Amino acid sequence: MSDETETEQQHYFSADPTVAFRRELVTARVWGHDLSLASGSGVFARGRVDAGTAVLFRETEPPARDGVRRVLDLGSGWGVIGLAVATAVPSVEVTCVDVNERALLLVRENAAALGLADRVTAALPAEVDPAATYDEIWSNPPIRVGKEALHELLLTWLPRLAPGGRAVMVVGKNLGADSLQRWLDEQGWPTTRLASAKGFRVLETRRG
């Protein structure tokens, strides 16, 4: 098994990885902003912005709708999506949610280093206020948890979209992006394809 495969499994299935913790710096230019962030061992996409997230950034613009004040980064890892949103849109508050406590530690460190600690919160799913709603959800969702777990995850968090809100997700075509789009439509969550690039789909799910 490759180190990357092991890292992905630890990210998706373990809330407290036991591998030795080593930070690795990642630099990225996202939506016109230069970000220097710490990633780490035992967390998805150590030392890099993964290919799917890179496609998400290239094929979208940051939240720009009037009234977008609260954004959720679902399955945040070390926080690059949520931190990019908070950097690009100074008016928003971002909640980064992940099951990996090591990832959440990195989110908090990165938010502090970028001067965003007052607008970026990192939390385990159970720590999030169940009454909280979000104007937008941004996510590179953990497809490898399996279809049933992924469906449960989305049906837990999509209802937290405020009326008129949307979710923007990047999903690999070979990992079931098109079937996921059809399933979301069937569940009453209208979903369209915003872009297709490098084997990934960028999907937009709307709440009426």
Please give the pLDDT value at position 47.
Answer: 65
Helix (H, G, I), strand (E, B) or coil at 29: strand
Contact, 201 vs 181, CB < 8 A? yes
Model pLDDT, residue 40: 84
For residue range 41-86, what is the model confidence (pLDDT) as tens digits? 778 777 679 999 999 999 999 998 888 999 999 999 999 999 999 9
* Token pair belonging to 190: 């209208």
**Domain 3-206 homologous superfamily, CATH:** Vaccinia Virus protein VP39 (3.40.50.150)
Q: How large is the average pLDDT for residues 178-206?
A: 97
Q: Helix and strand tally (H, E) in the chain?
A: 6, 9
- Cα separation, 168 vs 203, in Å, equals 6
pLDDT for the residue 81: 98
> Taking phi first (over 0 means left), then psi (-120 to 50 degrees means alpha), and beta for anything else, what does residue 75 get?
left
Residue 14 has pLDDT above 60, yes or no: no
Give the residue extent of every domain in the chain: 3-206
pLDDT in tens, 107-156: 999 999 999 999 999 999 999 999 999 999 999 998 878 899 999 999 99
